[in-house]
Amino acid sequence: MLTKRQLIILDALIRLYTSTGQPIGSKTILIDTAIEASSATIRNELSQLEKLGFIQKTHSSSGRIPSLKGYRFYIDHLMRPQEVAKDKMKIISDVLGNHVKQMDDIMHQSAQLLSDLTNYTAIVLGPRAETSRLTGFRLLALNDNHVMAIIQTDKGTIENKVFRMPKTINEADLVKVTNIFNHHLVGHTLTEVARRLQRDIPLLIRKYASNAAEMFLSIESVFKESTESRHHISGKLNILDFSENIDTQKLKSLYTMLDSSGDLYALVDQINDDFVVKIGEEINHDLLKDFSLVTTTYNVRSYGKGVIAVLGPTSMAYDETFGVLDVFRKQLTHTLLEYYLE
Amino acid sequence: MLTKRQLIILDALIRLYTSTGQPIGSKTILIDTAIEASSATIRNELSQLEKLGFIQKTHSSSGRIPSLKGYRFYIDHLMRPQEVAKDKMKIISDVLGNHVKQMDDIMHQSAQLLSDLTNYTAIVLGPRAETSRLTGFRLLALNDNHVMAIIQTDKGTIENKVFRMPKTINEADLVKVTNIFNHHLVGHTLTEVARRLQRDIPLLIRKYASNAAEMFLSIESVFKESTESRHHISGKLNILDFSENIDTQKLKSLYTMLDSSGDLYALVDQINDDFVVKIGEEINHDLLKDFSLVTTTYNVRSYGKGVIAVLGPTSMAYDETFGVLDVFRKQLTHTLLEYYLE
DNA sequence: ATTAGCACTCGAAGTTATCGAGTGCTAACA
DNA sequence: TGTTAGCACTCGATAACTTCGAGTGCTAAT
C-alpha cells in the first residue's frame, strides 16, 4: 500500500513529467509539492516507488519517469478529470448544438473540435453498421443518363451515390429495380442485405429487369459504402508534435491504419461503457505501443453506441483529456437524442 | 552558348544529382558519361558552367548541384519525357477507362494513382466552378423530417446534401421553394446564383413560402459547397520523403494550404496550356520555395479546363513526371470526353 | 586545349573533455 | 525509526578537437 506522501509524490511526478517531458528529480518535486521534508527523503520515497514498479529511470543517474504501471495507477486512483473552461464549453455547445445537420457532419465536426481542443488525434465512430436495418431505398433519374441511388437505415444514416448509365435511362426499369429492392431488402439488417445482394437479387434482376443489369454493380457499391461504418478522424498531423522522431515509414503505416474503418473498429472493439484508457502496450497494437488511447462511448438508446476516442502520447494530459471527452460524450448524446427523437 | 560537351555534362549532372541527392564531382561525371577527357578537363568545364550560373557548389570544395537556372535550362532544352512502362500504362487505363463513375471519382482516383506512380504529391483540379451554369435544382423529401437538395451544373457536377428540418415537412412548401429556385436561378452562372441567393431569393421565400424560411440556410450551404471547385489531392505524406528536415510548423501550414481550394486554384491560376514547370522560387509562394510544381491541363471542349499537377522536390525526376503526366492528360481528356458526350 | 600533379578546403564522422543534474549511501540527528 | 546533510559517483548532453577523404583550383608540362 502506498503512503499518503507517496501518492502525492507520484501524482506530482506524473503532472510534472507530462508538462515538461523531462525525467523528474527529487528537488523538482520538493519545489512543486507542499511536502515538509528534504530532497533526500524524497529520494528515498522515489527509490521505494521505483521498487514497487510505479516509476523508472532512463539511466542509472537520471530522474524518474512514470512506468506503465504508474500511469495505470494514476488513472485508476489519482487523476481527476479537469473541468473544461467556460469559453471552450461554449464553443463545443455552439458547434454541436446546432442540429440542422446530418449525423455525419456532427460527427465530423466533433472530431475536428476535439483534436483542436486537445492537440491530440481525435477519432469519432458512429454506431456499427452491421446491425442497422435498411429502411428505405430509391432510385432517382437526374437526367438522361444519370441516376442517383439513395439508401436509408434505421440508424439515421443516409447514403447516396450518383452513377452514370451507359444507355439512356428507361424509367420503367428504374421502377422495376426499385420494387425488387424494396421488396426483398428493406427491413433487413445490412449484413443480411449484403448476403442477398450476392445471391437472390442478381437473379431477380435478370428475370424481371434484364435491361438494368448494368445498373446493379453501381447500386451494389452504394450498399458497400454504407456498410463501411462511419469513422471520422481529425488532427492526424498532431502526431508529429507529440511523437517526435517517428520515422516516415512508421508514420505512413499509422496514417493508413487510421484511415481504415476496420482497423479503428477493431481497436475499440470491446469498449462498452464509460471511460477506458489503454496505455502503450495495453493497446496491443504494434504501431501504437508508444501511444495512449482514451475512449468513451456515447449512447443513443436503441439506435446504438458510438465511440469517441483521443489518441495521444503515453505522457498525455489525461486529466484534461478526460474533462473534454466527458463534455463531448454528454453533448453528443444530447444532440443525437434530439436528432433522432425530436 | 554552351558547347556540346557542356550540355552533356549538365545533363549528366542533373540526372546524377536527381538520383543520388548528393553534390556531383568531376570524377563521377567522367565515369557516367562517354566523354573522352580527364577529370581535370571536366573540372574546367564545371567551373565554366558555374560561372554561367547553371550549377553551384554547396561549399568551397564540394561537388556541384544544379542551380535554378540550370534546372530551367534542363527542362527547356535537354529533358525529354520518359516513356511510361507498359504495365503502368495498363494500370492507368484500367483505372481511368472504367467510366461508370462520377466525375469526382475519376478525378479522385487520378490523383491517387498519380501520386502512387510518381511518389510525389498529386493535385487534380476540376474546371473552375464560377463559370458553371446551374442546370437543375430539386428537393426530395426522404421522410418526415429529412430533405435532400440536389443541384446540377452544365459542367457535369452533381452536388447533394441531406438536411434535417425542425418541423415535419410540408410537401407544398417544398414545391414552392423548388419552383422559386428553378424560376430564378436555373440557367445562371454559379457566381450569379450566389449573388441572387444573397439578395432576391430570401425575399421571395418570405413572400411565397414563409414556412420554409428555415430551409433556406441549409440550401444555401449546398450551393456554397458546389461553388468550391473540386480539388483532389493525394500523396501528401510523400512530402515527408522528398523534403527531409521540414519542421512541423511548416508542414502543418503546407497541409492546410493544400487542403484549400482557393489556394490551389491561385497557384495554377495562369496555367493555360500544355506543360508548365515552376521551380522553387518561380512558384512565388513562401511555403513552396523548396519545391517544384509540374502542371498541365486537360481540356474537355466547352466544358472547361482542369489542371493536373505534381508537387515534388526541385530535384524531381522531371523526365518521368512529364511522361506520366502526359499519359494522364490524354487519358483523362479521353475519359471525360466520353463521359460528357457519349 | 588538355592533363598530371599537388596543395588546399571543408563537411562528416569519430574521439575526447567538460559539465551538471541527479542518484545512492553513510553517518549523524530528533 | 524516520529524517537529513554531505559527498562520491554515474552518465547523458554538449562542446572542442582530430581525422579522413572527396572534391576543388591552380600550375606547369604536353
Tell me the pTM.
0.89
- Residues of chain A in contact with residue B136, where contact means CB-CB under 8 angstroms, are 142-143
CB of A218 within 8 Å of any CB in chain B?
yes
> Other CB atoms closer than 10 Å to residue A310's CB: what's the count?
28
Instruction: Give the closest-approach CA distance of A43 to chain B in angstroms.
Output: 38
Are the beta carbons of A164 and B100 separated by less than 8 Å? yes
Is any Cβ of chain A less than 8 angstroms from the Cβ of B162? yes
CB B131 within 8 A of CB B304: yes
Each residue's pLDDT tens digit, B46-97: 999 999 999 999 999 999 999 999 999 999 999 999 999 999 999 999 888 7
**Per-residue pLDDT tens digits for B151-199:** 988 877 788 888 877 677 788 888 888 998 899 999 998 888 888 888 8
- Which of A76-101 are b and which e, b meaning 16 or more Cβ less than 10 Å from the residue's Cβ? eebbebeebeeebeeebeebbeebeb
In this predicted model, what pLDDT tens digit does every residue of A160-207 receive, in sequence order? 888 877 677 788 888 888 998 899 999 998 888 888 888 888 888 887
Rounded to the nearest angstrom, the minimum Cα separation between B195 and chain A is 24
Confidence label for A99 from pLDDT (cuts 50, 70 and 90): low
Is residue B123 within 8 Å of B310, Cβ to Cβ? yes
Task: State in words which class domain B134-227 has.
Answer: alpha beta
| Nucleotide nearest the Cα atom of B50 (by C1') | D24
What's the CATH fold of domain B86-129+230-341?
Answer: Beta-Lactamase (3.30.450)
What distance separates the 2 farthest-apart alpha carbons in chain A? 89
Q: What is the mean pLDDT of residues B229-237?
A: 90
Q: Is the confidence at residue A22, as pLDDT, over 90? A: yes
Share of chain B above pLDDT 90, in %: 56
- In this complex, which protein residues place their C-beta within 7 A of any atom belonging to strand D? A 36-41, 44, 58-62; B 22-28, 39-40, 43, 46-47, 50, 57, 61-64
For chain B, the domains span: 4-78, 86-129+230-341, 134-227
**Cell triple for A239:** 502526431
- Nearest-angstrom CA–CA distance, B32 and B19: 13
CATH of domain B4-78: 1.10.10.10
Give the DSSP H or E segment for B81. none
Query: Residue B120 CB: number of other CB atoms within 10 A?
Result: 28
Sorted by sequence, the CB contacts under 8 Å of residue B100 that are 6+ apart come out as: A163, A164, A165, A166, A214, A217, A218
Decide if pLDDT at B9 tops 90.
Answer: yes
The whole-number pLDDT of residue B100 equals: 56
Q: What's phi and psi for A13, nearest 5 deg? A: -60, -45
DSSP 8-state secondary structure symbol assigned to residue A24: B
Whose cell is 527509490? That residue is A47
Task: Give CA–CA dist B254/B269, Å, rounded.
Answer: 18
Render pLDDT for B267-293 as a digit per residue (tens, 0 to 9).
988 777 789 999 999 999 999 999 999
Distances (CA, A) of B77 to A113, A313, B17, B66, B237: 51, 51, 18, 15, 32
Q: How many CB atoms lie within 10 A of CB B63?
A: 20
Residue A59: phi and psi, rounded to 5, are -160, 175
- B32-39: list long-range contacts, CB under 8 Å, 24+ apart: B33/B8, B33/B9, B35/B5, B35/B8, B35/B9, B37/B5
Contact B102 A217 (CB under 8 A): no
Q: What is the pLDDT of residue B302?
A: 64
| Partner-chain contact B162 A217, CB within 8 Å | no
Query: Could you tell me the CA-to-CA distances from A246 to A258, B25, B245, B251 in Å, in that order?
Result: 16, 33, 13, 15
Closest Cβ–Cβ partner in B152, B218, B240 for A248: B240
Query: Which residues between 236 and 295 in chain A have a beta carbon less than 8 angstroms from any beta carbon of chain B?
Result: 237, 240-241, 248, 251-252, 255
Q: Do domains A86-129+230-341 and A134-227 have the same CATH topology?
A: no
CA A16 → CA A20, A76, A119, B59, distances in Å? 6, 18, 18, 45
